[in-house]
Amino acid sequence: MSTELPSNPVTSRLGSGTRAFRTVRQLAEAAVEVFEESGFHLAQVGDIAERAGVSRATFYNYFASKEELLRYLVLEAFPALLATRETTDETPWQRVRSSTDAYLRAYEQHATLMHVWSEAAARNDEMAGLLRDMRGPFLARTERSIRRLQEQGLASSALDATYAAHALTGMVSNFAYTWFVEGVAYERDRAVETLTTLWACSLGIEKEPDDLP
């Protein structure tokens, strides 16, 4: 499993601000709408092209298939999901809270895409493989963070950092899916504080006076 985000070949090839790039963005936005309305497996390339206001031939100038277009969408969205808002003057508890809040906000922004991708991965080996590949950077970042806290004496040394990273990232991503995709009603501040508490306490991170919400 790779620990680095794969590059997006379409973006690398086209650059930004060009006419071709704008056409790709039209196709991408149209695809999200069509995937949401029809489901990934029933969506047709012709429907995406028509929604984008271009021909099928134009679609195939940029993408070989709807799977390749979905891959483009995922690779464009994932840097935001992986980003954190932690700062060097935060306590460990505050860093967990900042990262959790940033992830949930990014997931909410891309909830439709996450739903489509999950649906596609259930029946498409290529999309399932991409799902596995994209877990790698999350797991690697989390494992590094846990090991660093252990080395500093701020997290329990009894925990296996690899196992803990898998368990904790799974907890937060599954919670985000039930909230933003399945539509379970949660209150944001309470959700962030609960996930933060579960994450921090499971690692043995002690709450300091400055950590009060």
pLDDT in tens, 181-197: 999 999 999 999 999 99
CB 165 within 8 A of CB 149: no
Q: For the whole prediction, is pTM greater than 0.85?
A: no
pLDDT digits (tens, 9 = 90+) for 129-186: 888 888 888 899 899 999 999 999 999 999 999 999 999 999 999 999 999 999 999 9
Structural domains of the chain sorted by starting position, each given as residue range(s) with its CATH number in brackets: 9-72 (1.10.10.60), 83-211 (1.10.357.10)
pLDDT of residue 34: 95
Percent of the chain whose predicted confidence (pLDDT) is above 70: 87
pLDDT of residue 85: 55
pLDDT of residue 3: 47
Mean pLDDT rounded to a whole number for the chain? 87
Q: Looking at this protein, which amino acid is placed at residue 97? A: R
Indicate whether 6 pLDDT > 50: yes
Q: What's the CA gap between 192 and 95, in Å, rounded?
A: 12
pLDDT of residue 209: 66
The candidate with the shortest Cα–Cα distance to 167, out of 204, 139, 193, is 139
Q: What's the CA gap between 193 and 65, in Å, rounded?
A: 42
